[in-house]
Structure 1
């Protein structure tokens, strides 16, 4: 099968590449292709992540597995068709952990027709910026037992207010 996959770089400007690839290609081959069509050398660490319909990041498939298990996931032993097989299925691709280049990969078409030139870049929109866009990771603040304001701290820990020096503790009690 031939997959038509749209790869979108996460930037303010549109930077999109549409690729035709063999469904039996490994994710390592796909990683090298993405790096090439976006102008990278492909020598940085990278990972694919399975994604749901809302682009929520799922299971990681790293370039090199750090797990010693024989069935550990890595790009060299995992194919595209093992991860996406129906149109609109998605992968997130993270290239260069120091710069966090992030790409959204979506399968847009599956055909049985064979093309002589596979892989093939069929659409290129926009230019890859010189630097990766800055990422801001913000977690929602939740109220839990560790979120104490000053009043809570003073009220909950009054029993320790008499402590001034380690020498004041009677160690024979313990």
Structure 2
């Protein structure tokens, strides 16, 4: 079967920028990653991850390019994860982040599952809409239960009053 994905650049202000890609359900997330980077004109050399997402686009399990867990908890990698292991008719959404310094964020949604067309090479870029901006769109991150009055330096310490500090200033 062939998965038809719409990959939408997550912007709040600019016009829609998206690509439609067809890819085999048995291809890996690394294959989808390569298709996305090529279709948006990236060189594909930066770190990237997919995140399983729910209907509200909440970020779930990470599927990374490389296992960076350093032996603690193992995580799935793109090359070892087939598309049909994370996406199906009931689970249609992924978040894709490319270049963790710039934070290019894309909403990836399975739009349709179709039969493979004979003589077609997959993956295949089906449709292009909009030009990608020169820099990644700014993201407004929200934190739940964030205290706006928090001040990390509000600890009532007078740094000029060495007498009250608990250390021996002649320690060496």
- Please classify the TM superposition score into its range, dividing by the shorter chain length: 0.7 to 0.9
Change (3 A) 1:138 1:72: closer
Shift of 1:79: 1.0
SS of residue in 1 equivalent to 2:117: coil
Take 1:104 and 1:65, find their aligned partners in 2: how far apart are those partners? 23
Q: Which residue of 2 aligns with 1:48?
A: 50
Higher helix share: 1
Per-residue Cα deviation, 1:8-46 (whole angstroms, up to 9, x for no partner):
011221101011000111111111110000000000000
Show the counterpart of 1:118. Answer: 122
Aligned to 2:66: 64
Equivalenced residue count is: 154
- Match in the other structure for 1:95: 98
Once residues 65 and 38 of structure 1 are traced to their aligned partners in structure 2, the CA distance between those partners, rounded to angstroms, is: 25
Q: How far does residue 134 in structure 1 lie from its aligned partner after superposition?
A: 1.6
Compute the TM-score of the two structures, normalised by the length of structure 2: 0.79
Question: Cα distance 1:73–1:165, how it changes in 2: closer, same or farther (>3 A)?
Answer: same
Is residue 129 from structure 1 mapped to residue 133 from structure 2 by the alignment?
A: yes
- Higher CA-based Rg: 1
Give me the whole-angstrom Cα distance separating, in 2, the residues matched to 1:134 and 1:140: 19
- Structure 1: state its 5+ residue gaps: 155-163, 169-174
**Aligned CA distance change for structure 1 residues 138 and 70 (closer, same or farther; 3 Å):** closer
Give the Cα separation in 2 of the matches to 1:87 and 1:113.
21
Q: Conserved in 2, the CA contact under 8 Å of 1:87 and 1:108?
A: no
